[in-house]
Amino acid sequence: GLQDGRGPLRRYMREAALAAAADADMVLLIVDATDKRGRAPDEPDAAPLVVAGTQKPLVVALNKVDRVAKPELLPVIEAWTKAHAGIDVVPISAQTGDNVDRLERVIAEKLPESPLLFPEEMVTDRSPQFIAQEIIREQLYHQLGKELPYASAVQIETWTERKGELVIGAVIVVERESQKPIVVGRGGQRVKELGIAARAAVAQALGKPVHLTLFVKVIGQWSQAESELAKLGYKQELRRGMSG
């Protein structure tokens, strides 16, 4: 989805999505067929992605069709088909798996053949630090679920390798003092469980033992300050490059 609203973090997230759509070999737009206000081609959240993908093959997957009556669904399919020349509209149900195989075939047909861009044995072009940071962030979602504060981030502060073991110090950043206890938990239990799960996942991903220390830090209104966003890895060069 596209983040709307004010603030540099929302602007960064919006422009990152649009840049990804513009750079992709094809654009896949997943639309909730049960959302009457958000399933039309001119819906504000969808329109910029459609525009970004005008020079690329565009596929629309209408999801949750198992919960929509066919007479109600047909006009939605027709509207999307007319919205963009050469568009493919594929009704699916991710929950039941209905028509997902057809969606995969449509995507495969639209993807261009390409030579290998990286060595065959290479699985990612991201750094180990980035991988560790994303795994910790993933565990945050697993541990906190809907309790997770919107404006929360993870930053790797220290990274040392000794005797085949990685020693990592990471900081979980929130915006308000009231959010810190949510992450820490009673008696530090929640952040302890988060550290145990994240350490095991990082060790498995990087193939070596890991010692992980987590801290929780409050940086007031960090999502509203571009200098703090840059420190936490949200690069503003993207926004400047797109506007130029």
Q: What is the pLDDT of residues 60-103, one digit of tens each?
A: 999 999 999 989 999 989 988 887 778 899 999 999 999 999 99
Between 152 and 232, where is the model more confident?
Answer: 152
Q: Is the pTM of this model over 0.85?
A: no
Q: Is the pLDDT of residue 232 over 80?
A: no
Q: What is the pLDDT of residues 11-49, one digit of tens each?
A: 777 777 777 777 788 888 888 899 877 777 777 666 666
Q: What is the pLDDT of residues 127-183, one digit of tens each?
A: 999 999 999 989 988 888 777 766 778 889 999 998 889 999 998 888 888 889 988
Q: Assign 3-class secondary structure to the chain.
A: CCCCCCCHHHHHHHHHHHHHHHHCCCEEEEEECCCCCCCCCCCCCCHHHHHHCCCCCEEEEEECHHHCCHHHHHHHHHHHHHHCCCCEEEECECCCCECHHHHHHHHHHHCCCCCCCCCCCCCCCCCHHHHHHHHHHHHHHHHHHHHCCCCCEEEEEEEEEECCEEEEEEEEEECCHHHHHHHHCHHHHHHHHHHHHHHHHHHHHHCCCEEEEEEEEECCCHHHCHHHHHHCCCCCHHHHHHHC
